[in-house]
Amino acid sequence: MVNAESVAARFARLPDWLRRCLPAENVVLSRIQKLTGGAIQENWLLDLEVSGGPRAGAHRWVLRTGAPSALAVSHGRSEEFAILVAAHKAGVRVAEPIILCPDKGTIGESFLIVAWCPGTAQGRRIVRDPDLPTFGPSLARTLGSELAKLHRITPPRADLAFLGEAPVDAARMRIDRYRSELDHMDEAQPVIEHALNWLEDRLPKAGPIVLCHADYRTGNYLVHEGKLSAILDWEFAGWSEPNEDIGWFCARCWRFGQMALEAGGIASRDDFYEGYEIESKRSIDRAQIRFWEVMAHVRWSVIALEQEHRHLSGREPSLELALTGRMLPEILHDLMTEISSSGGRS
């Protein structure tokens, strides 16, 4: 439970900082409330009144800052803000980026503020909505279309230089990275090693490189009255192949139990593919998506192992980290199911 006094103390400097940086004559915060979700980041709802300046009026914004369980590979606030600005300019349905505070002087951590968008992002709630058969196919097509808009952003980009050089072969890069991470773990992981061998045997030809969300899935977008409100959680975005995002969205681990609805537990993959193909004007190679779905489960397995180790080592005791680690058997089961349904081992 969040202590009201500690919250007030933590955000005491925020109104004056906003007044100076917006700029405005005065800023009055009427509510600061921690939002649920966000294992990697903290999200705080802000209700405020701005007097004077370009943002004069009543607003509802969301402040995002780091959570204790953040992953080392996740972007900092400055990088995430730059990605949001790029996506917003490309016409992708994201919360409007408002302002960035790159230092820790105001609330003890760097943070960014975006416009609040209505809706729920809870995956299990979305896939169990009784009206899903009515709105699910349309929602999936919209999500495919929005992903295609994002994939129009290609390297090199001066505003995204912090992402580094684009990989020559994204699939090869991923396999090498996960092998290296497994090599640094104390216990052998034969199921994941088997999956990496399976992927290596089937490496596709290197494809085009684009800006990928890298966590594009049910649970990371807002749904309001059956429609897409905003795409969330951009802290893993980077250069990769478009098929990585498509495979991640369709992977079994992100269907929240609705296995027959292969596009994120909300619709058929044909609905999702249709939205993407119409907007991108390119056909999706179905076989390559299956490859990237196996890759998605390898990645999720490695993340679960890393989160578990951070808790069990005593370095970062956390219920969130411990619960993620306990998901590993289910993830590995999904991984082997994906391999079996994709043709087993050659």
pLDDT of residue 345: 43
User: What six digits make up the tokens of 29?
Assistant: 């915060």
- Each domain of the chain, given as residue ranges in start order, spans 4-115, 123-341
What pLDDT score was predicted for residue 313? 64
In CATH, what number does 123-341 get?
A: 3.90.1200.10
Query: Within its chain, how far is the Cα of 321 from the centroid?
Result: 17
Q: How far apart, in whole angstroms, are the C-alpha atoms of residue 300 and residue 214?
A: 12
pLDDT at 342: 76
Q: What is the pLDDT of residues 184-220, one digit of tens each?
A: 888 889 999 999 999 999 999 999 999 999 999 999 9
- Contact predicate 86/43, CB 8 Å: no
Residue 149 above 70 pLDDT? Answer: yes
Fold of 4-115: Phosphorylase Kinase; domain 1 (3.30.200)
pLDDT at 74 over 90: no
Indicate the pTM of the whole model: 0.92
- The DSSP result for 195-261, as a single string, is HHHHHHHTPPPP---EEE-S--STTSEEEETTEEEEE---TT-EEE-HHHHHHHHHSGGGSTT-TT-
Query: Given this model, what pLDDT does residue 274 score?
Result: 98
Q: For residue 127, what are its two tokens?
A: 């896939």
CA proximity to 133, closest of 260, 245, 248, 289: 260
Neighbours of 215 (CB within 10 A): 21
260, pLDDT greater than 80: yes
From CA 198, how far away is CA 293, in angstroms rounded?
12
In angstroms, the CA 217 to CA 251 distance is 9
pLDDT of residue 72: 56
Domains 4-115 and 123-341 share a fold: no
